[in-house]
Amino acid sequence: MPNQKQMENGLSPPLIENGYCNNSLEKIQKQKEREHRVNGQKLHGISEEEKQIPLPSNATFEQKMLIKYKNFIALLIPFSVAQFIWWSSAIKYNFFPLYSTHWQMPLTMVVGSIIAGMTSEGGGAVAFPVMIFILHTKPHTARDFSIMIQAIGMTMAFFVIIFMRIQIEWRAIIFGTIGAIPGALIGFTLIEPLFNPQTEKMLFVSIWSSFSISLWILNCEKKRKTFNIIENFCFWKCIILILTGFIGGILNF
């Protein structure tokens, strides 16, 4: 029942539902949403109990910083490296006058970086269609730019993953890369000359749209089952990873 002070102020008390007030239910729901967003991102070799262990009293300043502010440091290091390289190149080669004539690309990459951070797609997945459909850039130029952007961004992200000790399935990366390298070489040298720019645009839109729809459907499953590693890894699963990387490499043309 509302108390007299709440009634005088026109405030309604939190409703009770199954022994929990609405405020508690809202907190529980938010916690579940956070768990869903980071589902599958577990730290390698660190259990939940170990993460709750307090800092030792004799910990050094460096240890305290690396433990208490590890997330911030993991982002600060690649950010500082990227900024140093960019500003050094911009000052040396005087990039700044280009902003008045090519302002579309920085704006595109701002949007691309946001999408890249929210999904598993790189910023190049946004840069490529903008460059070929809006800016009318040649497909191979847009492709090279997109690959360069994703190579830089994903290298920085890979550093964060390693630094944070987020558990990853190395077999998927290794065998996928084994197939992707020859696939990319074949795509660049043999497959690309077979298609005209219009066909390349159509293929990109089809593949990109299919991936986006698949990602959306997957994220709609809030209680999907995830695995830390590939269970019962065997020869045929290895072949599937290699073939997947090979096909993906070919489609990079």
- pLDDT, one tens digit per residue, over 128-148 is 888 888 888 887 888 888 888
DSSP one-letter code for 167: -
Where do we find the tokens 């080669």? Answer: 93
Taking the C-alpha atoms of residue 35 and residue 140, their distance in angstroms, rounded to an integer, is 41
**CA distances (Å), origin 240, targets 153, 172, 181:** 27, 10, 15
Q: Where are the domains of the chain?
A: 65-168, 169-220+233-252
Taking the C-alpha atoms of residue 237 and residue 232, their distance in angstroms, rounded to an integer, is 9
Question: For 46-87, what is each residue's pLDDT tens digit?
Answer: 555 445 556 666 777 777 777 778 888 888 999 999 899 999
Question: For 102-112, what is each residue's pLDDT tens digit?
Answer: 888 888 888 87
Listed residue (123, 120, 142, 122) closest to 131, CA to CA? 142
DSSP one-letter code for 166: B
